Amino acid sequence: MEAKTTTTYSMWSLFRNCRKACEWRYIHELVPLERDRNLAFGTVIHKCLEIWHGGRELAPVLDFIDRTYVERAQNEDAKRNWHMATAMMMGYAACYPVEEFEIVVLEKTFEGGIVNPATGAPSRSFVLAGRVDGVVRIGDQHFLLEHKTASQVDADYLERLWTDFQIVLYSAYVEQALGIRIAGILYNILVKARLQQGRGETEAEFETRRDGLIAKSKTGKSGAKRRLPESDDEFQGRLLDKYTEPGMFHREMLYLSRDRFETLESELWELTQAFLDARRRGVFYQNTAFCFHYRRPCAYFPLCRADGSTNVIDNLYQKVSPHEELRDETSFEEVSAF
């Protein structure tokens, strides 16, 4: 008997958004050679939160950040991320000195069948696997803990949480795996500060600026001083101040509707059938409306534009087995493509 194929929410979500991208990732097992720095930062913060909630000690968290960005002295990106992660986690620890919840489990991986809602029969082709950030208890109710890093939290962002197909789906599987009823989701949102370290100005830049000010001045003089680069300590202090502001950390609790489970179970089944049909016929069509969905090209845009050119595959992509997010040891270093 054939082993069932493990699938994840990421795979079904991508299949729903663009079948072609899904084919590149899950059939051809391709990912871009260069890793996405935005996703990498989010993954580092997830690991930091796992360490923090595991022991509520800041030292091992900061040690992990130091080790992650060990090349920060030579690399500007690493230095920027080190500053951000350090200030974010120090701010987080200060913001939540005492938690209202009790941790039941952290980084829980699960696997379960996909069921035909019409017959109740499990799929003979697929199982669904996933990983949740945690399960917490508040009073006598259990909630899934879901960490998110965001550039900003506005009304649209909060509205979108209600449409989070993934977490509602995961709740049902966690209920099966742990045998506890999940009342809702606790979203733990950390906002990325938009501050930049001041780079100062060169002597020539200062002269140009001062000349401009003098030209506008009625007295023909200017008291302008050259802007010096901001030191690491000054920048870290400014970031820490930023993380004392309200709104840099946000928690949102959503209660789950039981009816949503059934709707999502049905949708998931339909996706499996559409996938089987696409794979049988070898046709995974492109959804061009998704190419710039996040206001930047999809990871597979260069490949689609080149009609799957082997030159592009060989030089810009590499083969990586699917479902990296389920792997324990390296998951914080290896970043999901989506």
Query: Three-state SS for 243?
Result: coil
Which residue type does 88 have?
A: M
The only residue of 2, 203, 233, 328 in contact with other proteins, by rule CB under 8 A? 2
Query: Three-state SS for 13?
Result: helix
Touching other proteins, residues 79-118 (CB under 8 A): 115-116
* Site stretch for other proteins (CB under 8 A), options 99-107, 167-175, 216-224, 280-288: 280-288
- Determine contact, residues 133/146, Cβ cutoff 8 Å: yes
Which residue type does 16 have?
A: R
The 8-class DSSP code of residue 121 comes to: P
Nearer residue to other proteins within complex by CB, 112 or 308: 308
**Residue 284 near other proteins by CB under 8 A:** yes
**Residue 34 near other proteins by CB under 8 A:** yes
d(CA 86, CA 90) in angstroms, rounded, equals 6
The only residue of 159, 216, 282, 328 in contact with other proteins, by rule CB under 8 A? 282
* Site stretch for other proteins (CB under 8 A), options 135-143, 195-203, 255-263, 314-322: 314-322
Nearer residue to other proteins within complex by CB, 17 or 116: 116
Touching other proteins, residues 221-240 (CB under 8 A): none
> What contacts 24, CB < 8 A, 6 or more positions away?
30, 300, 303
Nearer residue to other proteins within complex by CB, 58 or 320: 320
**Residue 314 near other proteins by CB under 8 A:** yes
> What contacts 100, CB < 8 A, 6 or more positions away?
138
d(CA 25, CA 303) in angstroms, rounded, equals 12
In terms of Cα–Cα distance, which of 114, 103, 176, 179 is closest to 144? 103
Task: Compute the least distance from the CB of residue 252 to other proteins, in Å.
Answer: 29
56-68: burial string, b at 16+ Cβ within 10 Å, e else: eebeebbebbeeb
Touching other proteins, residues 130-169 (CB under 8 A): none
The only residue of 125, 166, 222, 266 in contact with other proteins, by rule CB under 8 A? 125
Residues near other proteins, by CB under 8 A: 2, 23-24, 27-28, 31, 33-35, 37, 115-116, 119-126, 272-273, 276, 278-282, 284, 295, 302-303, 305-316, 318, 320, 333-335
